[in-house]
Every structure is written in structure tokens, then in C-alpha cells.
Amino acid sequence: MDKTGSAHINGGRLWDSIQELGRIGTDPNGGVTRLSLSNEELIARQFIIRLMEDAGLAVRQDEAGNLIGRLEGERQGEGAIATGSHIDTVIHAGLFDGALGVLGGIEALRTIKEQGIKHDSPLEVICFTDEEGVRFGAGYLGSRAMAGAWKRNWLELADSAGTTLREAMKYADLNPHQAARARRSRDAVKAYVELHIEQGRVLEELGEAVGIASAIYGHCWLEVSIRGRADHAGTTPMKLRQDPLAAAAAALLAIEQIAIQQGGVATIGTLNLAPGAINVIPGEVVFTIDMRHEASEPLRQMELAITAALERSAEARGLTTSIRAIDGAQPVQASKRIVEAIASSCASVGLTDTYMVCGAGHDAVAMNELTDIGLILIRSRDGISHHPLEWSSPDDCEAGANVLLNTLIRLANDRSN
Ligand SMILES: [Zn+2]
């Protein structure tokens, strides 16, 4: 602790651990590929276990394969203040997504142990199983298991080589039928704070190293089909056409305005025309809409307004529309007391408190079902993520880990709950 009462991690040691973990699963085609429960990720887990042990933590693996490093507090029987993230990656990933949260958490707990910093509640750093969902098509497996939302039918999900999650868990010496036992109670985990790279450009634009998430976007995914009539591009006069792409184009511009008005975001990420030839008027347009908002009611209003705009636009041209919901999740609000603890910690290490909405999903979303959550974000260069060029500077990683460290200490000594 320094004169101001704030604690500091060892930035060089954190940076070295990020580099060392990044050498496990180096992909010959660029970046790092450590798919969940792959050989590479299993080697990385051994590295994490070693690091946790070196930090003086009691290490255990739960039934869902989550690695938990724990430092007991001064008061017996208290729920833990937990931090963590994941070390599985997408294909051709960078060094920071997930890794920063796990390694920053270990570094924070190591600092507390080394410096003998007093804390009432026990502290935990958790390395969750399969956050990315790339290998088996379902993500947050470990954090959802811990929050009591494990689904048995996930075991039948298979990767591109046909290996099921059941087989992959057995390969990793886990009993697939016991995964649901990873569930913990609210009394056992009093708070969860995650440190993560932003994966966007907001902090870089603001010139800030660290941001505090006030909420995490909820989302609504739709698949839309507008059907018209495929005709010859030369012989069909404009007034005789039933062109679904023209209807879609009008709707897409309306969708942009609706997102702006509601203060959310909406994206048309895929669009397919059938039959799809240069000299044929399309007979059908199929596209997806990804809409996100930090609050439930505006998210619902966005969905209603967008659905109405699509139907209006198609009807005006005598076309038929079908809209199918593909996926959705409610927004997550960060806990007020954790946001306050993060803000005080920012101040104590000389950073401004910059509030933002987190646009990407994290283990914190799943942990919100179990306990109060908070999220500390750090600046990503050029907003690049899920790519070998993903980058956060050593100074920013250190700043984020310092905020995490002081937040954990604050929460672990908070008697008000
Ligand atoms: Zn991540």
C-alpha cells in the first residue's frame, strides 16, 4: 500500500504472464488458437494452476472444469469476492481477451498475499471453462454451470471434427454427468468483478485507459425473409416488379433511425438474395438483424418498431414478410455497490471514473444469475479483438489490474452487506 492507501500490482510480472500464456497455442496461421478443452487449452490450464499455486492460492477444479484459486479471509464463513475470466479463445485470437481477467486476477491475489493486505472476506480468482462457445456452439459453459444454469443436452453438442462435449470433458478427466454440481449458492459468492479488454473503440476515443461498465447490452436477434417475385431483369418494367430487396432497403434505413432514436445499436450482418444472379430480380431476401440495448424496455421498443417498419415496407409493395426470433438475452445491470467500489478504486490510483455500456458478452453475464457483478474494461488499440492484432498496452493492463486489486480489497472489507 502507498501513502494514499492504494495497493499496486507488479505490472512487469503481469505482462510477462500474458506473454507466456500467449505462447501456448500459437497458431501457424497467425495469433493464438486455444479452443476450449483442446490439447492447447489443457496445457494452458496447467500453466494457470502453476501460477495460482505460485501466488500462494489454494487451487481446486470444480465439476465443470472451472479452476478456482482461493485466498482465505480473516472472517470465517463469509461468501467469497470473486474475479476471473477465461483462457479459451476463438480461432486466430489475440493475447488479451479473457487472459487479462484470469492473469490480472491471479496477480491481484498474489499482491494481496505478498503484501499481507488485510481482507475480511475470502478472495477467489476463477478461470472459467469455455466462454467463447466457438468449439461446441454454446458459450459461458463454466460460468453458467456455476450459476446453476448447466444444461444436460450441451453434452451432445459436437465440434467440427464430430467430438462431443461429453467426449471432450472425459478427455480432460472431467465427469460430464457431474458438471451441474459446479453450482454454487449466493451465500458462497458475494460478488463477481471481471477485468476485460473493451474490444471496442470507446475508451480509445475518450483517451482513457480504464472504463467502468454500468451495464452490459442485452440483445435480440431476428431472421427476416421478404418474398416477392423473381423476374427477368430486362423484360420486367419497373412498375410491374415485386422486388423484395427494394422493400428491404427501405426497411434497413428505417432500422438505422430506430436504433439511433432508442439509443441502442442495430446491425444487419447477413443478407442473402435468391436466386442471386446479375440479371434476375430477386424473389426472396433473407437477412438477420442484431439489435442491442442496455435496458430491457427500450430493447423491446426497438424490436416492436423494427418489426413494424419491416411489415410496413413489405406491405407497401404487396410483399410478404416472415420474422423469426433466433436468440435473445436481457441486459445486465452492474451492481451499484460494485460500481462505486470500482469508481473509488479508479480515484485511488489516479484514474478518472469513466462509465460506459459494455457491448460484448462476458462470463459476468452468466455470473449475474448467481451474484452481484461488476466489470472493469481497459482500452483496446483500434478496437480490434478476436484477431492476432488485438492489443492493450502494458500500462493499460497494469492500470486495469490495479483498479481490480483495489476493488477486490474494498469489497472484501465492506461490512455493509
Ligand atoms: Zn472474453
Instruction: Work out how many domains the chain is built from and give that number.
Output: 2
Round to whole Å and give the CA distance between 275 and 278: 10
Q: Identify residue 90 by its one-letter amino acid code.
A: V
Round to whole Å and give the CA distance between 380 and 393: 8
The model's confidence at residue 76, banded by pLDDT at 50, 70 and 90, is: confident
Round to whole Å and give the CA distance between 26 and 216: 31
Residue 381 has pLDDT above 90, yes or no: yes
* Same-domain check for residues 203 and 79: yes
The model's confidence at residue 328, banded by pLDDT at 50, 70 and 90, is: confident
Check residue 116 and give its pLDDT.
97
Number of continuous H segments (helices) and E segments (strands) in the chain = 11, 16
Is 4 part of a structural domain of the chain? no
* Same-domain check for residues 44 and 132: yes
User: Burial code of 271-303, b = ≥16 C-beta within 10 A, e = fewer?
Assistant: eebeeeeeeebbbbbbbbbbbbbbbeebbebbb
Q: Answer yes or no: are the C-beta atoms of 214 and 339 closer than 8 Å.
A: yes
Q: Which of the listed residues 329, 350, 377 is the one where a domain comes to its end? A: 329
pLDDT 10s digits, 143-202: 999 999 999 999 999 999 999 999 999 999 999 999 999 999 999 999 999 999 999 999
* Same-domain check for residues 299 and 236: yes
* Same-domain check for residues 404 and 312: no
The model's confidence at residue 75, banded by pLDDT at 50, 70 and 90, is: very high
Mean pLDDT of the chain, nearest integer? 96
The model's confidence at residue 3, banded by pLDDT at 50, 70 and 90, is: low
Instruction: Extract the C-alpha cell encoding 111.
Output: 499482491
The DSSP symbol for 401 reads H
Is 272 part of a structural domain of the chain? yes
Residue 1 has pLDDT above 90, yes or no: no
The model's confidence at residue 417, banded by pLDDT at 50, 70 and 90, is: low
Q: Answer yes or no: are the C-beta atoms of 147 and 57 closer than 8 Å.
A: no
The model's confidence at residue 389, banded by pLDDT at 50, 70 and 90, is: very high
The CA 63 to ligand 1 mean position distance, Å, reads: 21
* Same-domain check for residues 318 and 336: no
Radius of gyration, alpha carbons of the chain: 24
Check which CATH number belongs to the domain holding 275 and give it: 3.30.70.360
Is 20 part of a structural domain of the chain? yes
Is 417 part of a structural domain of the chain? no
* Same-domain check for residues 206 and 83: yes
Tell me the average pLDDT across 389-412: 98
* Same-domain check for residues 209 and 279: no
Question: What are the strands, taking DSSP E only, across 198-283?
Answer: 210-216, 218-227, 231-232, 265-267, 271-274, 280-281
The CA 310 to ligand 1 mean position distance, Å, reads: 34
The CA 110 to ligand 1 mean position distance, Å, reads: 22
The CA 411 to ligand 1 mean position distance, Å, reads: 23
Calculate the alpha carbon distances from 36 to 66, 82, 101, 104, 168 in Å.
Answer: 12, 22, 17, 20, 9
Check residue 2 and give its pLDDT.
74
* Same-domain check for residues 147 and 179: yes
* Domain extent for 183: 11-216+331-412
Q: Which of the listed residues 287, 309, 329 is the one where a domain comes to its end? A: 329
Round to whole Å and give the CA distance between 51 and 154: 30
Instruction: Extract the C-alpha cell encoding 283.
Output: 424473389
Q: Answer yes or no: are the C-beta atoms of 195 and 85 closer than 8 Å.
A: yes
Is 380 part of a structural domain of the chain? yes
Question: What are the strands, taking DSSP E only, across 33-135?
Answer: 58-61, 67-71, 80-86, 123-128
The CA 132 to ligand 1 mean position distance, Å, reads: 7
* Same-domain check for residues 348 and 384: yes
The CA 145 to ligand 1 mean position distance, Å, reads: 17
Residue 292 has pLDDT above 90, yes or no: yes
Neighbours of 76 (CB within 10 A): 8
Looking at the DSSP bridge assignments, the partners of residue 128 are 86
Tell me the average pLDDT across 84-112: 98
Q: Which of the listed residues 297, 314, 329 is the one where a domain comes to its end? A: 329
* Same-domain check for residues 315 and 380: no
Check residue 30 and give its pLDDT.
85
* Same-domain check for residues 206 and 254: no
Is 304 part of a structural domain of the chain? yes
Check which CATH number belongs to the domain holding 206 and give it: 3.40.630.10
Residue 259 has pLDDT above 70, yes or no: yes
Is 2 part of a structural domain of the chain? no
The CA 196 to ligand 1 mean position distance, Å, reads: 7
Residues whose CB falls within 8 Å of the CB of residue 200, separated by 6 or more in sequence, listed in order: 359, 360, 380, 383, 385
Kindly report whether the peptide bond that precedes residue 275 is cis, defined as omega within 30 degrees of 0. yes
Q: Answer yes or no: are the C-beta atoms of 197 and 377 closer than 8 Å.
A: yes
Residues whose CB falls within 8 Å of the CB of residue 293, separated by 6 or more in sequence, listed in order: 217, 218, 262, 263, 264, 265, 299, 302, 331
Is 389 part of a structural domain of the chain? yes
The CA 97 to ligand 1 mean position distance, Å, reads: 4
* Same-domain check for residues 172 and 275: no
